[in-house]
């Protein structure tokens, strides 16, 4: 059974601080996606990483896929209250198009 | 592109009753997924379809759960003899099926079993 563990589970920080969320597994994934979910809504895609070691930037968000494609991280610089939400990683099993989601990191950014 | 729609948004039922949820994916998306999510947790995979074919059903899912996508368009998820532990948000997503294509989620059906 493939599992994706995210850490931390909860994070409450002040506006302007930096943070990193981790997504770890013992399994190899062909790709990994990061989503953000707000209350009462479905998750919305932030980014997809495919190649081991790949780094992608989306404004203040930096995503990295581990060299072995078993883990990923999301770094937010100068967090803002609008970044508040549930962050989810999702790994795809090679060739199956089946996505397994991580345990989630709930972020709250205080003004 | 009207997005993925799910119906109903909320469902309250008594233990032992059957419930059915509907998902209308983005048109021409050939893959459709069902997930279950409890508060603050990540979505748990239930099942997925390519067109009308059900590719996999989670081994964690009891026989009380069944899903169909008869014409490769909309899908239904039925839960028979509901239990209080079935209370959760049920999310549907669709994708185009191309490599690394994102999942587009609906806003879910929140089920409460009393």
Query: Which of A6, A42, A86 has its CB closest to that of B105?
Result: A42
Distance (Å) from the alpha carbon of B90 to chain A's nearest alpha carbon: 10
What's the mean pLDDT when you consider all of chain A?
Answer: 94
Give the pLDDT band (50/70/90) at residue A69. very high
Query: Which of B43, B100, B107 has its CB closest to that of A41?
Result: B107
pLDDT of the residue at B28: 87
Give the integer Cα–Cα distance in Å for B46 and B21.
14
More confident residue, B74 or A94: B74
Please name the helix (run of DSSP H) or strand (run of DSSP E) that holds residue B105, with its range, or none: strand B104-105
| Residues 89 through 108 of chain B touching chain A, CB cutoff 8 Å | 91, 93, 95, 97, 99-100, 102-103, 105-108
Distance (Å) from the alpha carbon of A108 to chain B's nearest alpha carbon: 13
Q: Report residue A7 as tokens.
A: 């850490």
Q: How many Cβ atoms sit within 10 Å of the Cβ of residue A15?
A: 13
Q: Do A102 and B42 touch (CB under 8 A)?
A: yes
What is the DSSP annotation of chain A?
----EEE-SEEEEETT--EEEEEE-SS--SEEEEEEE-TTS--EEEEEE-STT-EEEETTEEEEE-TTSSEEEEEESS--GGG-EEEEEEEEPTTT--EEE---EEEEEE-
Average pLDDT over residues A21-43: 94
pLDDT digits (tens, 9 = 90+) for A12-23: 999 999 999 999
pLDDT of the residue at B1: 55
Omega cis (within 30) before B85:
no
Residue A61 CA, distance from chain mean position: 10
* Interface contacts (A, B; CB < 8 Å): 60
Omega cis (within 30) before A81:
no
Q: Is A102 on the interface with B (CB under 8 A)?
A: yes
Q: How many Cβ atoms sit within 10 Å of the Cβ of residue A70?
A: 18
Distance (Å) from the alpha carbon of B63 to chain A's nearest alpha carbon: 20
Residue A33 pLDDT > 60: yes
DSSP-assigned beta bridge partners for residue B1? none
Of the given ranges (A94-98, A101-105, B37-41, B66-70), which has the lowest mean pLDDT? Answer: A94-98
Give the pLDDT band (50/70/90) at residue B100. confident
pLDDT of the residue at A1: 61
More confident residue, B76 or A3: B76
Q: Which residues of A touch B40 (CB under 8 A)?
A: 86, 104, 106
Residue A97 pLDDT > 90: no
What's the mean pLDDT when you consider all of chain B?
Answer: 94
Give the integer Cα–Cα distance in Å for B109 and B33.
14
pLDDT of the residue at B59: 85
3-state helix, strand, coil in chain B (%, to 5): 5, 50, 50
Substitution target in A44, A97, A104 with the highest count of B β-carbons within 10 Å is A97
Give the integer Cα–Cα distance in Å for B105 and B26.
10
Residue A58 CA, distance from chain mean position: 12
Q: Which residues of B touch A40 (CB under 8 A)?
A: 107
pLDDT digits (tens, 9 = 90+) for B2-24: 799 999 999 999 999 999 999 99
Of the given ranges (A19-28, A51-60, A64-73, B56-65), which has the lowest mean pLDDT? Answer: B56-65
pLDDT of the residue at B61: 80
Q: Report residue B56 as tokens.
A: 């996999």
| Residues 40 through 69 of chain A touching chain B, CB cutoff 8 Å | 40-45, 48, 50
Give the pLDDT band (50/70/90) at residue B36. very high
Average pLDDT over residues A72-89: 97
pLDDT of the residue at A48: 95
């Amino acid at each position: 059974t493939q599992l994706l563990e995210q850490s931390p589970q909860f994070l409450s920080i002040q506006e302007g601080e930096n943070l990193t969320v981790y997504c770890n597994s013992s399994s190899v994934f062909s790709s990994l996606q990061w989503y953000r979910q707000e209350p009462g809504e479905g998750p919305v895609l932030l980014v997809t990483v495919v190649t081991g070691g790949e780094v992608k930037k989306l404004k203040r968000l930096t995503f990295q896929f581990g060299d072995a494609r078993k883990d990923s991280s999301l770094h937010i610089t100068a967090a803002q209250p609008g970044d508040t939400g549930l962050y989810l990683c999702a790994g795809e099993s090679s060739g199956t198009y089946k996505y397994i989601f991580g345990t989630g990191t709930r972020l709250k950014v205080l003004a | 592109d009207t997005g993925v729609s799910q119906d109903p948004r909320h469902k309250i039922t008594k233990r032992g009753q059957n419930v059915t949820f509907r998902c209308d994916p983005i048109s021409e998306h050939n893959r459709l997924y069902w997930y279950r999510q409890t508060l603050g947790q990540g979505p748990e995979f239930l099942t997925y379809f390519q067109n009308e074919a059900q590719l996999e059903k989670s081994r964690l899912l009891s026989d009380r759960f069944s899903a169909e996508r008869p014409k490769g368009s909309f899908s239904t998820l039925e839960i028979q003899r509901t239990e209080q532990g079935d209370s959760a948000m049920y999310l549907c997503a669709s994708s185009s099926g191309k490599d690394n294509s994102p999942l587009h989620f609906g806003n879910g059906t929140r089920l409460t079993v009393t």
